[in-house]
Amino acid sequence: MTQLSVNINKIATLRNARGGDIPNVVKTAIDCLRFGADGITVHPRPDERHITRKDIIDLKAMITREYNIEGYPSEDFIKMVLEVNPEQVTLVPDGPDVLTSCAGWDTVKFSDLLKQVITIFKEQGIRTSVFVDPKIEMIEGVKLCGTDRIELYTEDYANNYRVNKEKAIEPYILAAEKATALGLEINAGHDLSLENLAYFVEKVPNLAEVSIGHALISDAIYLGLENTIQIYKRLCR
């Protein structure tokens, strides 16, 4: 069964809109796990426009399953991850001015950087995942960097699902097959939703984990958080 990690950035965004501590990020994370999520994902930004450094520290003490921290491997990010020591770190190529993730790494061009950062995290026993587009050359490149996992960037799939889902899924199947052949585990995320998740899970082989935030938290407004997580979990089977 594919694991479900809930990205709670949007909870922090809502809290920060008014200041204070409502909704409470830590309580939401605990509730997500209680309702069946397999892990919690956060993606802090340098300007702390949603998840803050304090949130990162506070969550570590309370999360009883997988804790996944995403981010660009700046010096401050690396230092924070080493301090928190989460189960998984996901490296993304986003600069500080990027609103949301919009591309995977060029694992050939940035091979030296990725190798260096991955070595630092693996020496501390932190599993590493690298955000990549579903391109064979990028999968081959990231294998040489020493990562444990890849995270397939799924925006293209989500955008084209309604147009032609068979064509939309094809590059992800090929990328997953290549990753498996190279001994890499496979995560996926970005714009996966109630509409398109089941087909993705069904078709992409050896999918270990999906990370879902925006769609899941938005659905929870209408369906309730517990019910929403249970629905997503069923789609992961």
For the annotated catalytic residues, the residue numbers are: 43, 70, 190
Strand partners, 71: 91
- What single string gives the DSSP state of each residue in 49-98? SSS-HHHHHHHHTT--SEEEEEE---HHHHHHHHHH--SEEEE----TT-
- For residues 200 and 207, what is the distance between their CA atoms, to the nearest angstrom? 9
What angle (nearest 5°) sits at the alpha carbon of residue 121, between those of residues 155 and 177? 40
Other CB atoms within a 10 A radius of the CB of residue 144 amount to 13
Q: Are strands 149-153 and 185-189 parallel, antiparallel or unpaired?
A: parallel
Which residues touch 182 (CB under 8 Å, ≥6 apart)?
A: 139, 140, 143
Give the DSSP letter of residue 169. H
